[in-house]
Copies of this chain bind each other. A is one copy, B any other.
């Protein structure tokens, strides 16, 4: 991937997309099990409960980055993410919709929101995302969001597969995902244009690619932790959520 001269914007975009093709968590065995009906209700609950922590830290991630953006235009563009996740007057946002998803699969809302039953691996991976946008360059913070380039595909697989295979999952339960199919492309269009425009030098382009790689690792590590604790070998760490059928 390292070159002596900068890539053109199109070449850079191709390299970013290639990173996703290689490392996005759509390739993870836990995702394949989830959408193909290979999990039981307790395992789906574990996924929903752990993924909640990712959802509820996304506004912290976006606000951390927003605080560092230098212009009104950039901050206004980024602010729409906060609206998507925390809602606007009269309309709930993604965090609340994820809690409804958790309730829909039979979890207690307050228990989920307490994050008490979280896998430590989930917490560390998600916290690494907030740290990335705080500690690395703005370009890297924005580039790390580019996994949204790949999310419509994984959402489509997940929603259709889960509705087909799990009788405890309804369309209403999965309502979280519907707006994401338009929000994610809006966000990734903006972020991709920013990265194409602002990653000019070899160093900047490498940094942007590394940031996207780290983000892919963050998503991947969350599924590793789930798979390890709840699928194979199925070793639930002390204090983490125990599904009913494992009690």
Contact = CB atoms under 8 A, between A and B. Distances in A.
Interface of A: 22-23, 27, 29, 119-121, 123-125, 127-128, 131, 213-214, 216-218, 220-221, 224-225, 227-229, 231-233, 235, 237-239
A233 B229 CA distance: 11
16 contacts: A27-B238, A29-B233, A29-B235, A120-B220, A120-B221, A121-B125, A121-B224, A121-B225, A124-B124, A127-B131, A216-B238, A217-B237, A224-B225, A227-B235, A228-B228, A231-B233
Contacts of A229: 224
Given A124-B121, A233-B233, A23 B224 contact: no
Most chain B beta-carbon contacts within 10 A, residue among A119, A218, A239: A239
Contacts of A224: 120-121, 225, 228-229, 235, 237
Contacts of A231: 233
B217 A120 contact: yes
B227 A121 contact: no
Nearest to A19: B238
A27 B27 CA distance: 32
A31 to B, nearest CB: 12
Contacts of A128: 123-124, 127-128
Nearest to A234: B232
Contacts of A216: 238
Contacts of A232: 232-233
